[in-house]
Every structure is written in C-alpha cells, then in structure tokens.
Structure 1
Amino acid sequence: MKKTIWALMFGLILMGCSNTKQTIKEEKWEESAQFVRETVVTDDGQKDDIVFRIGDNGKFGFGEYGPFIAGESQKYMWHFWGDEKTLTKPFKVIGVSKETGEEITVFQIPAQSLAPNNGADHHLPSAMMLPSSGLWKLEVFFGDKLFGNVVVNVKEK
C-alpha cells in the first residue's frame, strides 16, 4: 500500500513538473504597456511623442529616445522603484528572441550608488541594440536575481 501511495505521489510531482515546462513554452509574448506623452521638442513648437515602456511588475520602465530598430544602437533611460539594497547591485539586461530563442546580454554595468530621478528611486542611462526584428523579452537583473521583464517589438531597418 505504501509503495502505491509513493508511486502515485511521484507521478503527480512529475506531471506538475511537465506542466510547468509546457506553461513556459506557451508563455504569452505581448508587447509591454507603454505611456505616451506628446511634448514640445523644439524652440519653434514642433511636437513629438515621449514613450515610456512599463515593466511587468510596475517597479521599472525605460524612456525610449526612439524605437528599437534591428541592428541599431539607441539610448534608453531606465527608471526603478524599490529598495536601495536591491537597486545598487550590478545591473544586467538579457534579451530573448521569441522567434529564435536566442539569448544575448544587451546591457550590463557593475554596482552603482543610488541615483534618484523624476520621482524614481534610481535611474540608469543605457545604449541597447537588438540584432533582429520581432518580439524580444528584456529580462532585467539586479545581481543574480530577476527583477522583472519587458517585451519590445524590434522593427526592421
């Protein structure tokens, strides 16, 4: 009887693990939410949109100085909300392509002191480039811990 119970429990655990792997494969890839604000950008009154991409946990995002274009580097200003202990650890962004599964290190810097800006607890300037078009998930790490992610659509040149 004990062997039957153990076999049943082991089978349920294996089924749970296999369902977890399938859920990761079937994960939804939707472009992350963004906040767009029209602003005057020149002395003669020309207007342009400022785009702020919002991370999945609501504790970070980045301002876009232009859209992601495959193979082209662009400036992005990251903003974070959270505790100093976390936000001052080394920062790294890993990009994952939905199309190919390719993983690349998009940006990384060593630990820094806290730098509040525009209401955020911390901010970091960056230059990022993604090599191919399509959806890319940017996984954001402080130290070895995943802080959150954001999905962007990279356009062709």
Structure 2
Amino acid sequence: MFTAKRLLFFVFLSITMLAACSNKQEANWEESEFFDVGMYKMIGTENKIGFIYNPDHLLFVENQVNKYMWHIWANKEELQGDFKVLASSEDKPDEKIEILNLKSEFDYLSPNNEATTHIPSQMILPESGMWKLETYINDQLFDEIYVKVWKEEEA
C-alpha cells in the first residue's frame, strides 16, 4: 500500500511537471531568430524555413500588406501538397487566421538562395503585437515562426 501511494504521488508529480513545461513553451512569445543567407536577412529557423525580412529596413506593420519570399530547406518528398500559414496573436492564442494558402505551389518552384525551394507571397496581419505563424505543408505542421508586428505610428 505504501508503494502504491508513492507511485501515485510520482505519477501526479510527473503529470504536473509536464503540464508546467508545456505551458512555459506556449508562453514563450519571442521573435524568432534572424539569420543571413547570401545577401538577405531572414526570420525563421535556419536551414529549415524562413522568409526574407530585415526589420532594419522594413517593419511588419499591422494592416499593411507586403511581399515576403519564403524559403524552405527540405527534401523533395516533404515538399508535396499545399503550403499554408495560420497566424495567432499573443493576445488571442486560440484564435487562428489563415494568412496564406497556396495550392500545390511546390510543383512549380525551384531552389533559390541555398534553399530547396522558395515561395513568393503577400501577407498581412490585422493587429500589432507578437504573432505566431504556423507553417503547414500538406496539412502537417512544419514549423512555427514568431514575428513582431508594429503599429503604423511606430514604424
């Protein structure tokens, strides 16, 4: 009986710790890393996915559409299907909006800037603050990128 109580306590403690770790990851709304590829600065995960973005020259501003060139480093088998981006703000993390949905784009694109493929796009986010961009390939989560969106008067 004593060992059963110990085991139950250990299981409860483990579940509590896992839940706390999970919540910490969700609460980490920090801008993703910047990295250089050739003469371009990108935001995302180096050698996996990113888009050309240099906040020293042009900021991501709320309600302003702009062009962004996505770059993906993956094997050709992974690049099957559609490319989609869902976005959620730090203020409303459970509300996702679709900001990009490109059907079968990988059939037509080629390598660029050392990446396996690239995708030209236009994106807009409606409010300032920190945003999480979830990237999907063929409805499978590929990676997440965090971007800071500025108010127009701050830009």
Relative to the length of structure 2, the TM-score reads: 0.76
CA distance in 2, matches of 1:91, 1:141: 6
Provide the aligned C-alpha RMSD in A. Answer: 2.6
Q: Deviations over 1:49-86 (max 9, x none)?
A: x7532313531211249432211211111111111111
Q: List alignment gaps of at least 5 residues for structure 1.
A: 38-49
CA distance in 1, matches of 2:84, 2:91: 22
Aligned length: 145
User: 1:104 matched to which residue of 2?
Assistant: 97
CA distance in 2, matches of 1:70, 1:6: 51
CA distance in 2, matches of 1:30, 1:20: 20
Q: List alignment gaps of at least 5 residues for structure 2.
A: none
**In 2, are the aligned partners of 1:32 and 1:152 still within 8 Å (CA)?**
no
TM-aligned CA distance change 1:64 to 1:128, over 3 Å: same
User: 2:52 matched to which residue of 1?
Assistant: 63
Shifted more, 123-132 versus 62-71: the winner is: 62-71
**What is the SS of the residue equivalent to 2:146?**
strand
| Overall identity of the aligned pairs, in % | 31
Correspondence for 1:120 among 115, 118, 131: 115
TM-aligned CA distance change 1:119 to 1:24, over 3 Å: closer
**What is the SS of the residue equivalent to 1:23?**
helix
**In 1, are the aligned partners of 2:29 and 2:146 still within 8 Å (CA)?**
no
User: 1:141 matched to which residue of 2?
Assistant: 136
Does the alignment pair 1:155 with 2:111? Answer: no
